[in-house]
Structure 1
Amino acid sequence: MFTPILAISASLNDSQRIHALKVGANDFINKPFIEAELAARIKNMLLTQQLYQQIAMQKEALEKMAMTDQLTGLYNRHFLMPYVEKALSSAQRYNYPLSIVMIDLDKFKLINDDLGHDAGDKLLCGIAHILENNCRSEDAAIRLGGDEFLVVLPHCSLEQAKFKTETLRQAITELPPASHKTSASFGLSSTEEGNFIFEQLFSMADSAAYQAKMNGGNDICH
C-alpha cells in the first residue's frame, strides 16, 4: 500500500531536502508556509495515492482473470501448478493426505452436436456450480479445458475422496438437458502411498478416469 509522506520543516537546506526524498518523503514544504500551498500539496499526494490504489486493483483483477476460466468462473491451468505444488509440499511437510479427482464428462460431444454449443456451455457451468457448492475453502476446482475438470482435496484421504466424488457423481446425473443423460467418469489418486509428485498423481487419476469411461461411464475408479 502506498502511503504518501510530506516533510515539513523550518530548516530544510538543499542537502536535507535531498536526504528526505531519498529516505521516503514524496514532497516537502518549508515553514512558514501558506495554508493554500499546503492544502494543494496534500491534495496532489492524495490523488497520487488514489492512482496507486487503482493500479494495484487493476493488477489484482488482471491476475485473477489470467487464472480464471472465462466460461465457468473456475480456476484454470495457469492457477493449477503454483497452487498444487504448494499444496503437495505442505501435505508432505505436515504429513496429511491429499487427493485429486479427475472428471471427464460422458458423451459431451453428443450434447454439443444434438443441441448446440449453448446447451453444452450451460452443462459445463452447471458442473462448475456443483463443484463450487461441494468444495471447501481449502479445495480447488479447476477446469482443465473442454469437458475435463480437476478437483484438488487437501486433508482428504482416498476413502473420503470417494465419498465426496459419489456426491458429485449423483449431482451431475440430475443436470439438464432432460433429453440427454448427463454423467461423468471419475478418476481418483492420493498421496497416501507416499507419492507427492503431481505429474504422477495426475497420470494415475487420468488413467482411472479412462478406466471409468471404459466401464461405460458414470463410474468412479482409482
Structure 2
Amino acid sequence: MMEREQQTHLERPSAGGALARSLLFLLMGAGFVALYYVGLRNYLLFHSLVEIFSIVIAFTIFIIAWNSREHLADSYLYLLGIAYLFIGFLDLMHTLSYKGMQIFTDYDFYANQLWVATRLLESLTLLAAFSLAPRRITLRPYVLEAGYAVVTALILFSIFQWRIFPICFIEGVGQTPFKIWSEFFICAILGLATWLAYRHRQLFSPQVFGYLMISLVCTILSELSFTFYISNYGFSNMVGHYFKIVSFYMIYRAIVQTGIRSPYQLVFKELKAKEAELERQVAIDELTDLFTRRAALALLQKHLSATRRELSPLTICYLDLDGLKQINDTFGHAEGDSLLKAFAGQLIREMRASDYACRMGGDEFLLILSHCTEGEAARLVERIEARVAQVNSSWSKGYALAFSYGLAQWAEGETMAHLLALADTRMYAQKARKKEKTALRTSPVTAAASLAG
C-alpha cells in the first residue's frame, strides 16, 4: 500500500507542476531564439555556449553516477556516468580547438576530428549501456575509468601528436568522405542503441524511457545534420547543435534530474525489479518451473474464495510419482531430477490458462482446476496419462514414468485443509492398490519401476 502511494505521488500531475513546465518551455523557446540571434551575429559564441552546456551536463552525469554507485546496481548507469566524464572532456577539447578560438593555431583539422572521435565514443557507449541494461554484471568503476582514459589518450595522441586521424574537413572544400561516412556509421550505431533501449523499455519508468528515446532520436538527427554542411559556420551546422542541446537536455532529465530531484524513479524501479525477482524465486520451483507449495496454498485459497462467491466448481488433483526413491537409489539423483522435469513438462502441456500446476515438495504435485468438475478433471488426468505413456515409449531407460493421483471437488462448507486431505487420501489409496497389484506379479525389473516412493 505504501509503495503504491509513493508511486502515485511521484506520477500525479499537479497544477504547480504544469505551470512550471509551461514556464520551462517558454524559457527554452526564448533561449533557442536568443541562441539563433547570437549565432547570426557571432557563430563562435553560439558554438561555445552550446558546447559548454553539453560539457556541464556530461560532467554532472558523471558526478551523479559516481556518487550513487554504492546504491544503484545497474551497470549501465556506471558505464554512462564514467563515459560521459571523458566525452565531456573531449567535447571541451573540441570547443577549445574550434576555428576562431585562437588556442590551437598550428593545425586546422583538430575540431572536426575531435567531433567525430567523440561522437563515435558516445554512440558505442550508448550501445554498450543499453546492451548491459537487462544484465546484472558487476563493473569495476576504476577499471572502466582506466579503460576510458586509455581510449581518450589514444584519441588525443592520434589527433594532436601523431596526426594519423583522418582529416574530416577542408576549408573551402567541405567535409571529406571519411567524415560523411563516419557520421552515417555513428547514426547506424545509435539506431541499434535505440532499438535496444526500446526492446528493454520495461526496465525504465515510462517518463525516463520517453526522455531517453527523445535524446537518442535527437542525437541521430544531430549527426545527420552534420553530414550536409560545407562551412563550419553553416546553417546545417547550427541545426545540428540545436539537436545536440535537446539530446543532452533529455539525458539531463532522464538521469541527472531523476537522480537528484526525483530519486525514487531510478531507485524505486530497481527495488521493484528486485522485489519481483524475489517473489518469483519464492513462488516458482527452480527445478520444474512449477509453483511452489507456498504459492500453491495461496492460489488455492484465492480460488476457493472465488468459488464460494460464484458457486462454481473447483477440483484439485494430488499427484505422486511412483518409484522415485528407487530410481534415485538405482540411477542417481540427477536421473530423478530429470524425471521430475519431464513429468512437470507433461503437466504444463495439459493445463488451461486458468489452471495451476504446483510442486508441493519431493515427488508430490498439485493441480488447481477452477471451473472444473471432478469428472472433467478425471478426463484431464487421462490425457496426462496418455502423454506419460508416449514419453515412456519414446525413451529407452531402465524404468517407466508413472504416477498415482487423487481427485477432490470442493463442496459447499468445505475448508481448504479438508479438500487437500481428501485428495491426498485418495491418492494414497490408489498408490496402495498399485502396491497390492505389484506384490502379486513381482519381478526384479518391474518392481524398481513400480514400487511407490
TM-score normalized by the length of structure 2: 0.40
> Are 2:333 and 1:117 aligned?
yes
Alignment counterpart, residue 253 of structure 2, candidates 33, 42, 46: 42
Higher RCO (CA < 8 A, seq sep 6+): 1
> Are 2:405 and 1:186 aligned?
yes
Structure 1 residues 99-126: Cα deviation after superposition (integer angstroms, max 9, x where no partner) = 0000011111111111111110000001
Cα gap change, 1:9 to 1:91, in 2 (>3 Å): closer
Give the % identical residues: 27
Cα gap change, 1:212 to 1:7, in 2 (>3 Å): same
**Matches of 1:178 and 1:188 in 2, distance apart?**
30
**Bigger CA drift: 164-173 or 83-92?**
164-173
**Matches of 1:170 and 1:106 in 2, distance apart?**
16
**Matches of 1:195 and 1:208 in 2, distance apart?**
20
**Matches of 2:348 and 2:381 in 1, distance apart?**
13
Which letter maps to 2:379?
Answer: F
Determine the structure 2 residue equivalent to 1:13.
Answer: none
**Bigger CA drift: 131-140 or 148-157?**
131-140
**Matches of 1:45 and 1:91 in 2, distance apart?**
49
Q: Whose radius of gyration is greater, 1 or 2? A: 2
**TM superposition outliers: structure 1 runs of 4+ over 4 Å:** 4-10, 31-37
Alignment counterpart, residue 85 of structure 1, candidates 279, 285, 301: 301
Alignment of 1:1-222 (within 5 A): 1=7, 3=11, 7=17, 39=249, 42-43=253-254, 44-47=256-259, 48=263, 49-173=265-389, 174-175=391-392, 176=395, 178-191=397-410, 193-216=411-434
1:216 is paired with a residue whose SS is helix
Unaligned runs of 5+ in 2: 1-6, 33-52, 58-248, 438-453
**Matches of 1:171 and 1:181 in 2, distance apart?**
13
Q: In the TM superposition, what is the alpha-carbon distance from 1:200 to its structure 2 partner?
A: 0.4
Which letter maps to 2:405?
Answer: F
Structure 1 residues 80-100: Cα deviation after superposition (integer angstroms, max 9, x where no partner) = 222111100111111110000
Q: Aligned-residue CA RMSD in angstroms?
A: 3.0
Unaligned runs of 5+ in 1: 11-28
Task: From the two aligned structures, give the one with the greater strand fraction.
Answer: 1
Which letter maps to 1:200?
Answer: H
**Matches of 2:396 and 2:336 in 1, distance apart?**
9
**Matches of 1:177 and 1:114 in 2, distance apart?**
16
Q: In the TM superposition, what is the alpha-carbon distance from 1:165 to its structure 2 partner?
A: 0.9
Determine the structure 1 residue equivalent to 2:207.
Answer: none
Task: From the two aligned structures, give the one with the greater helix fraction.
Answer: 2
Size of the aligned set, in residue pairs, is: 200
**Matches of 1:75 and 1:82 in 2, distance apart?**
10
2:286 is paired with a residue whose SS is coil
Structure 1 residues 157-209: Cα deviation after superposition (integer angstroms, max 9, x where no partner) = 01001100111123234345621122100100001x32541110110000000
**Matches of 2:335 and 2:433 in 1, distance apart?**
26
**Matches of 2:253 and 2:313 in 1, distance apart?**
54
Cα gap change, 1:86 to 1:211, in 2 (>3 Å): same
TM-score normalized by the length of structure 1: 0.78
**Matches of 1:74 and 1:148 in 2, distance apart?**
12
2:434 is paired with a residue whose SS is coil
Cα gap change, 1:202 to 1:9, in 2 (>3 Å): closer
**Matches of 2:400 and 2:329 in 1, distance apart?**
14
**Matches of 1:208 and 1:177 in 2, distance apart?**
31
Q: Is contact 1:88-1:196 (8 Å) kept?
A: no
Q: In the TM superposition, what is the alpha-carbon distance from 1:8 to its structure 2 partner?
A: 7.8
Determine the structure 2 residue equivalent to 1:24.
Answer: none
1:143 is paired with a residue whose SS is strand
**Matches of 1:145 and 1:8 in 2, distance apart?**
55
**Matches of 2:414 and 2:355 in 1, distance apart?**
17
Determine the structure 2 residue equivalent to 1:26.
Answer: none
